[in-house]
Amino acid sequence: MKFHKYHALGNDYLVVNSQDLNSQELNSQGLITELTPENIQKICDRHFGIGSDGILLGTIQPKTNRFSLRIFNPDGSEAEKSGNGLRIFSRYLWDMGLVTNKQFSIETIGGIVKSVVDNSGQMVRVEMEKISFWSNDIPVAGEAREVINQKINLGDKEFNFSAATIGNPHCVIILPEVDSQIAKKYGSQIENHPLFPQRTNVQFMKILDRNNIQIEIWERGAGYTLASGSSSSAAAAVAYKLGLCDTKITVKMPGGLISIRVNEDFNIIMSGAVTQVASGKISQEIFDI
Ligand SMILES: N[C@H](CCC[C@H](N)C(=O)O)C(=O)O
């Protein structure tokens, strides 16, 4: 199975083009037989596989030039949307000569986004669609409500949080200081908390000023990552919703910076860098062990 590895600010993904697969690799539903949760875990393992924060399974309809993307986390679960994943897939399409620097659409489970590749592929801008704070959309357990400034109890610790979805779920916690330790200490407990029936991504956020925030990320199905486009979108949207930031926000993460614009109607525009790493072929052997 051919792959193309990219990273977006240290959040790395393997692009697999469904057209690169031969017939026996596709089952009757046109799904890749190899992409079972168990095999995804093997491919993403940083010692026994290629190593990555996920797999991007892209489908390109040659005649209509329609693009769709499925996003798999390293634990084998499927995500509705990935901001860095969409930027990476957009760059892949550009590298393959399938798009120019004009706007094009990509369909995901979490909705259809519009993408533009700039600066010879080094920068990609994605209109990530509208963010929602409503419990029924995210989802968050309990009565239908906007999930803003609520409490989550972890036994020995209680946090104030807000939640949002941009296709995938996010729990945003504002603190005076954030670091990787707090994300690694509490991330998994919050990811799997009963408040979140479909689990959740988690961001610990420090407000730097009205146009800058800093986040540390614990991703659903992936754990601690150095950057996240959907996390940046959700955290920035919460900061704007709470009146702590203006509409243009730079999100500072361990892997680098993402620019977010929160429009009045809460449509999110995200832009950031993408880096090509390598291409190769995954050996069948890793699936046989
Ligand atoms: N783990 C996430 C998907 C990837 C998000 C992140 N890598 C991004 O750039 O948005 C989830 O299960 O919702």
Query: Are the beta carbons of 267 and 117 closer than 8 angstroms?
Result: no
Centroid of chain to Cα 114? 15
Q: pLDDT tens digits, residue range 33-77?
A: 668 899 999 999 999 999 999 999 999 987 777 899 999 999 999
How many structural domains comprise the chain? 2
pLDDT in the model for residue 119: 79
The percentage of the chain sitting over the pLDDT mark of 70, rounded to a whole number, equals: 94
Domain check: are 168 and 70 in the same one?
A: no
Residue-averaged pLDDT of the chain: 94
Domain check: are 125 and 219 in the same one?
A: no
Beta bridge partners of 249: 260
Domain check: are 52 and 140 in the same one?
A: no
Domain check: are 54 and 155 in the same one?
A: no
Distances from the Cα of 65 to the Cα of 13, 93, 253, 287, angstroms: 23, 11, 34, 32
Residue nearest to atom 7 of ligand 1 (CA): 228
pLDDT at 213 over 80: yes
83 is in an annotated binding site: yes
The percentage of the chain sitting over the pLDDT mark of 90, rounded to a whole number, equals: 84
Residue nearest to atom 5 of ligand 1 (CA): 82
Enter the pTM of the model.
Answer: 0.95
26: nearest Cα among 68, 57, 48: 57
39 is in an annotated binding site: no
Q: pLDDT tens digits, residue range 231-255?
A: 999 999 999 999 999 999 999 999 9
Residue 207: give the domain boundaries.
Answer: 130-267
Distance (Å) from CA 239 to ligand 1 centroid? 19
Domain check: are 194 and 206 in the same one?
A: yes
Residue type, 160: N
Determine whether the shortest distance from the Cβ of 235 to ligand 1 is under 6 A: no
Determine whether the shortest distance from the Cβ of 233 to ligand 1 is under 6 A: no
pLDDT in the model for residue 18: 87
Spell 79-90 as b/e; 16+ CB within 10 A means b. Answer: bbbbbbbbbbbb
Residue from 71, 170, 202, 253 whose mutation best tests the ligand 1 pocket (most atoms within 8 A of CB):
71
Those residues whose C-beta lies under 8 Å from the C-beta of residue 155, and which sit 6 or more positions away, are none
Domain check: are 55 and 65 in the same one?
A: yes
Distance (Å) from CA 228 to ligand 1 centroid? 6
Question: What is the residue whose two structure tokens read 């399938």?
Answer: 98
pLDDT at 125 over 70: yes
Distance (Å) from CA 99 to ligand 1 centroid? 24
Distance (Å) from CA 84 to ligand 1 centroid? 8
pLDDT at 112 over 90: yes
